[in-house]
A and B are shown apart, each in its own frame.
Chain A
Amino acid sequence: DTEVTQTPKHLVMGMTNKKSLKCEQHMGHRAMYWYKQKAKKPPELMFVYSYEKLSINESVPSRFSPECPNSSLLNLHLHALQPEDSALYLCASSQDPPGARGEQFFGPGTRLTVL
């Protein structure tokens, strides 16, 4: 199984809502990532989890709160978002460390719209 799954595929939320994005992989990868991607831009790293511990936070606003309940699951909790947070949110996983030939596998993403 070389698949990373993400739910939901689409999400529309108001600025006062609380929602969560979910990501799952069963490849035995111990590194998991959240990226944000705006149209015509490359993915922008938000968070990295290594062995279920947060190892990198790229100065992401606190309205985004990641959680890694176990080695297969990664959540992103959203609260009080702004319209400019509308984007495609991608989850990825890799071996940890990736090693000389390790690559990231991406999920299909959640397309988020904040009204």
Chain B
Amino acid sequence: RKEVEQDPGPFNVPEGATVAFNCTYSNSASQSFFWYRQDCRKEPKLLMSVYSSGNEDGRFTAQLNRASQYISLLIRDSKLSDSATYLCVVTSNTGNQFYFGTGTSLTVIP
């Protein structure tokens, strides 16, 4: 079983739409959780860390549900510039290994 499962999409949404991505993980003792964004032919860049209390940064909201072992990312009022691949990342129980989901491709259409 994979450490992290993520729907690869693609998600094609109109500008202004709200879109949500989910990711499940297998190790209940995982320590840390992140969403990264990767543009075509670029390196992954941290979008948000994900905390049990949930966190919000502008149009982006991340949630962690430890009981059900999933994390989510909500993007409100989608912009064309949000088009990218979104990777969920979960660390091991010791925290020193990072496990990547397959990535979810988002295209925001004018």
Seen from chain A, the residues whose Cβ lies within 8 Å of a Cβ on chain B are: 31, 33, 41-43, 45, 48, 50, 55-56, 88, 90, 94, 96-109, 111
Contact = CB atoms under 8 A, between A and B. Distances in A.
B17 interface: no
A55 B95 CA distance: 13
Q: Is the interface of B mostly helix, strand, loop or mixed?
A: loop
B98 A45 contact: yes
A42 B103 contact: yes
A7 B39 CA distance: 20
B31 interface: yes
Chain B CB within 10 Å, residue with most, of A48, A101, A103: A103
Given A42-B101, A102-B32, A103-B34, A96 B96 contact: yes
A42 B87 contact: yes
B57 interface: no
Interface stretch (B43-51, B65-73, B76-84): B43-51
A18 B103 CA distance: 33
B26 to A, nearest CB: 16
Contacts of A48: 96-97
Please give me the 6 A-B residue pairs with the lowest Cβ-Cβ distance, nearest first: A42-B100, A106-B43, A97-B95, A98-B95, A103-B46, A97-B96
Interface of B: 31-32, 34, 41-46, 49, 87, 89, 91, 94-98, 100-103
A98 B31 CA distance: 9
B42 A98 contact: no
A104 B94 CA distance: 15
A102 B95 contact: yes
Contact of B42 (A42, A94, A108): A108
Given A96-B96, A101-B32, A41 B43 contact: no
Nearest to B43: A106
A103 B100 CA distance: 13
